[in-house]
């Protein structure tokens, strides 16, 4: 979009970003769960969905991959960058090219306005990721998760990406920014409006808050069906609902005439094992079964 001018568009940037994520999920989904976002990785650890010992390993991999991606783009488009900028690598101005690699605030945005924007947008990302992968709710169909996540990125970018460039990921902003510092753009990549730290901090906070909002307001209200155990007695099937941590229960047999209770038969329910049934002699029609 920067170098090609008429050859690129904002929609094209979002499509490339979203479906690039889709390809990443296909490549690394079975290896790490496709953790390509340090903010999402942090939220997963902070909310107990992943061990903290994986956090530094995953983030290191993300940073190295992002840095190498920036270096690859620089090498492939070096001639175009030099031709467009006239050999002057600048961060701001009409021929700025640093924004190819990292996000920078537009003139109309304040620093804290951009911070809030990144928190809200990344929170929406994390909330939707939890929804897409929550098997107890209404998840994406098996095998379509990568495509749905890519569409989610496209939707966020098209609708909310204008204000701050929707970094939504420290791993895709800081390493390329550091690469541009080394490649000739200089210290201005960190000094421009003092923005560099916001894509590092705000997405982490946003992902954590978005995860909490989903778990508290949505996840806790998703109905969970109780486990059903079957007890076969004679020709009739008696289905016994059992909670995941149910205490042992008894089936007692009472005399219909006398109303007295006689524990002739008991069914011990100890999930997840099958219930054990102790056999008894045939009973007359005057005997009824009471299950408590």
Over residues 228-276, the pLDDT tens digits come to 555 545 445 555 555 554 444 444 434 444 444 443 334 444 445 544 4
Over residues 43-69, the mean pLDDT reads: 96
d(CA 173, CA 154): 18
Over residues 34-40, the mean pLDDT reads: 95
**pTM score of the predicted model:** 0.75
Domain chopping of the chain, boundaries: 10-218
Query: Average pLDDT of the chain?
Result: 83
- Cα atoms found within 13 Å of the Cα of residue 45, Cβ hemisphere only: 16
Over residues 152-198, the pLDDT tens digits come to 999 999 999 999 999 999 999 999 999 999 999 999 999 999 999 99
pLDDT band for position 88 (50/70/90)? Answer: very high
Contact 266, 253 (CB under 8 A): no
Q: Which residues contact 212 (CB under 8 A, 6 or more apart)?
A: 47
Nearest to 102 by CA among 5, 205, 19, 2: 2
Kindly report the CATH class assigned to 10-218: mainly alpha
Contact 166, 121 (CB under 8 A): yes
pLDDT for 289 equals 39
pLDDT of 279 above 90 = no
pLDDT for 224 equals 67
């Amino acid at each position: 979009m920067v170098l090609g001018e008429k050859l690129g568009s904002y929609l094209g940037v979002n499509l490339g970003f979203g479906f690039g994520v889709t390809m990443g999920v296909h490549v690394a989904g079975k290896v790490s769960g496709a953790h390509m976002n340090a903010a999402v990785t942090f939220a997963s650890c902070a909310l107990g969905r992943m061990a903290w010992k994986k956090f530094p390993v995953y983030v290191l991999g993300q940073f190295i991959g992002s840095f190498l991606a920036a270096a690859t783009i620089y090498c492939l488009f070096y001639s175009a960058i030099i031709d467009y900028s006239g050999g002057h690598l600048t961060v701001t101005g009409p021929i700025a090219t640093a924004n190819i690699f990292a996000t920078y605030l537009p003139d109309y945005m304040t620093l804290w306005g951009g911070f809030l924007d990144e928190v809200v947008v990344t929170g929406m990302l994390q909330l939707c990721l939890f929804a897409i992968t929550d098997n107890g709710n209404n998840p994406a169909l098996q095998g379509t998760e990568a495509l749905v996540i890519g569409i989610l990125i496209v939707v966020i970018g098209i609708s909310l990406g204008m204000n701050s460039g929707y970094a939504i990921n420290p791993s895709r902003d800081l390493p390329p920014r550091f690469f541009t510092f080394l490649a000739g753009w200089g210290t201005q990549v960190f000094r421009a409006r003092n923005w560099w730290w916001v894509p590092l901090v705000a997405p982490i906070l946003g992902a954590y808050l978005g995860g909490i909002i989903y778990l508290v307001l949505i996840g806790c209200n998703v109905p969970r069906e109780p486990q059903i155990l079957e007890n076969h007695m004679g020709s009739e099937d008696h289905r016994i609902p059992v909670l995941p941590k149910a205490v042992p229960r008894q089936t007692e047999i009472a005399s219909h005439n006398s109303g007295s209770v006689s524990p002739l038969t008991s069914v011990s329910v100890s999930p997840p094992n099958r219930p054990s049934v102790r056999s008894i002699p045939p009973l007359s029609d005057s005997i009824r079964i009471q299950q408590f």
